[in-house]
């Protein structure tokens, strides 16, 4: 029975020289160690420990594609405590030290993030995200290097959920098995995929690792490992408010703001900008986001900033989608309010047809509903209407 986490756990908090200042950054526990990832790519040092200096086996120079995995590779070679934790500088597992100790004493082998659910199975996103993460290549590599796990990989990628962020607390023996299983695949992926051009899409090896981690966790659980899951806490950067300031009533202003972010290689914020501007429109924003990234890559590569407008590069459905989105949200909002004012069978049918016509998912509709009311009876009624079939 363990009584002190400091004696059995070493957790690395992974950051890099480009990290932003956080609001209310957490105090470190004695067992937590800050490590700078990607130190080989800069002369700047932000922590006493990094993934490169004095480390002959370093893969730090691959950090722009491997992301946090270069620091995890360092941990594999340097940490030998009974348990190993992996966290991000601005994200934490939502579990207290007391709960962590209790879980370990209860025989837990892995503490991981709760499954994040998506609208579709992961393998159905291939057409949308293949430019970011070549799905077929990653599956080929799994089949070649771990044929015994290929069927399980197909099963996991056929689900609409995964453990995100590569944040876990591992039993040491399982952590070493995980690294020995994963890193040869990452190396092969790195060799086969051409270098990407912008900062966000360039992290393709890290994206592959995130999906592969879910496969390994499921494999470990099937082999008898005990898992506990918990939520993810995220700390905002001090410039987060500035990042979401946008006139969401003006499509041109939205697009101009996105272009500014793209030029700054801040693609991680582009999706947030679109979603903050139109918080109900999950279906439309995902399609816009994917098309926008593809278009902007062409736009930047051709360096036509001075003599051509971004709008000349955008496909017609994307240039008009912001206006369509405004209209769709307003139409759905009107139908929803009409239904609540007159909960008749006719209004229920009209509401369901409106959902179908606008293309919004039920998640988006529930989000819109939350802006109108917090009455549980009304929410349950609307949910029942959405789930019912029209006569």
Compare 157 and 278 and report the one with higher pLDDT.
Answer: 157
Write down which residue in 279, 303, 319 finishes a domain: 319
Backbone angles phi, psi at 232, to 5 degrees: -115, 130
The Cα 228–Cα 191 span in angstroms is 35
Cβ atoms of 104 and 7 within 8 Å: the answer is no
Contact partners, residue 2, CB within 8 Å, separation at least 6: 8, 101, 104, 105
Q: Are residues 204 and 277 in the same domain?
A: no
Residue with tokens 């120079």: 61
Same domain, 373 and 298: no
Task: Please indicate, yes or no, whether residues 204 and 274 belong to a single structural domain of this protein.
Answer: no
Give 159-228 as a DSSP string.
Answer: SSEE--TT-EEEEHHHHHHHHHHHHHHHHHHHHHSPPPSSTTGGGHHHHHHHHHHHHHHHHHHHTT--EE
Same domain, 257 and 147: no
The predicted structure's pLDDT at residue 24: 63
- pLDDT at position 36: 96
Tens of pLDDT, residue by residue over 32-90, are 999 999 999 999 999 999 999 999 999 999 999 999 999 999 999 999 999 999 999 88
pTM of the predicted model as reported, rounded to 2 decimal places: 0.64
**Residue 358 domain boundaries:** 324-387
Quick one: average pLDDT of 361-390?
68
**163 plus 27 within the same structural domain:** yes
**34, exposed or middle or buried, with CB in 10 Å at 0-12, 13-18, 19+?**
middle
Q: How many domains does the chain have?
A: 3
If asked whether residues 43 and 152 sit together in one domain, one would say: yes
Query: H or E segment at 379?
Result: helix 376-387
Whether 267 and 333 share a structural domain: no
Residues 91 and 162 in one domain: yes
Residue 342 structure tokens: 């007159």
- Which of 183, 217, 234 represents a domain boundary (last residue)? 234
pLDDT, one tens digit per residue, over 239-265 is 443 444 444 445 455 556 555 655 554
Inter-CA distances, 63 with 37, 56, 85, Å: 7, 16, 19
Q: What's the number of CA atoms in the CB half-sphere (13 Å) around residue 249? A: 0
Q: Specify the range with the lowest mean pLDDT, choosing from 21-35, 36-50, 156-170.
A: 21-35
Looking at the structure, tell me whether residues 208 and 246 fall in a common domain.
no
For residues 125 and 152, membership in a common domain is answered with yes
Residues 163, 228, single domain; the answer is yes
Q: What is the CATH number of the domain that holds 42?
A: 3.90.550
| Of the residues 234, 265, 280, the one at which a domain ends | 234
Same domain, 141 and 193: yes
Q: Look up tokens 């290929």; give the residue.
A: 150
């Amino acid at each position: 029975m363990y009584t002190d986490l400091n004696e059995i756990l070493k957790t690395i908090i992974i950051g890099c020289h480009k990290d932003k200042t956080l609001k209310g950054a957490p105090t470190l526990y004695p067992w937590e160690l800050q490590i700078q990832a990607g130190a080989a790519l800069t002369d700047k040092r932000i922590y006493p420990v990094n993934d490169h200096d004095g480390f002959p086996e370093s893969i730090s120079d691959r950090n722009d594609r491997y992301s946090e995995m270069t620091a995890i590779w360092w941990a594999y070679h340097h940490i030998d405590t009974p348990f190993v934790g992996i966290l991000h500088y601005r994200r934490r597992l939502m579990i207290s030290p007391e709960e962590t100790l209790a879980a370990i004493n209860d025989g837990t082998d892995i503490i991981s993030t709760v499954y994040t659910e998506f609208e579709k199975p992961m393998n159905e996103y291939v057409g949308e995200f293949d430019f970011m993460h070549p799905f077929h290549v990653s599956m080929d590599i799994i089949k070649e290097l771990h044929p015994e796990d290929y069927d399980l990989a197909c099963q996991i990628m056929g689900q609409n959920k995964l453990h995100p962020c590569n944040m876990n607390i591992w039993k040491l023996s399982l952590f070493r098995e995980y690294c020995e299983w994963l890193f040869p695949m990452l190396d092969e992926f790195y060799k086969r995929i051409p270098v990407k051009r912008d900062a966000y899409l360039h992290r393709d090896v890290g994206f592959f690792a995130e999906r592969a981690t879910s496969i390994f966790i499921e494999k470990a659980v099937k082999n008898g490992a005990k898992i506990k899951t918990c939520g993810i806490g995220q700390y905002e950067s001090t410039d987060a408010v500035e990042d979401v300031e946008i006139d969401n009533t003006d499509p041109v202003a939205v697009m101009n703001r996105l272009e500014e972010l793209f030029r700054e290689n801040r693609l991680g914020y582009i999706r947030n900008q679109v979603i903050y501007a139109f918080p109900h429109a999950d279906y439309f924003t995902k399609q816009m986001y994917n098309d926008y990234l593809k278009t902007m890559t062409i736009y930047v590569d051709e360096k036509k900033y001075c003599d051509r407008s971004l709008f000349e590069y955008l496909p017609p459905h994307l240039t008009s989608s912001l206006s369509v989105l405004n209209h769709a949200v307003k139409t759905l909002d009107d139908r929803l309010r009409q239904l609540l004012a007159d909960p008749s069978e006719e209004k229920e049918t009209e509401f369901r047809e409106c959902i179908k016509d606008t293309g919004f998912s039920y998640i988006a509709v529930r989000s819109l509903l939350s802006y109108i009311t917090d009455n549980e009876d009304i929410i349950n009624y609307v949910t029942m209407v959405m789930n019912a079939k029209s006569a």
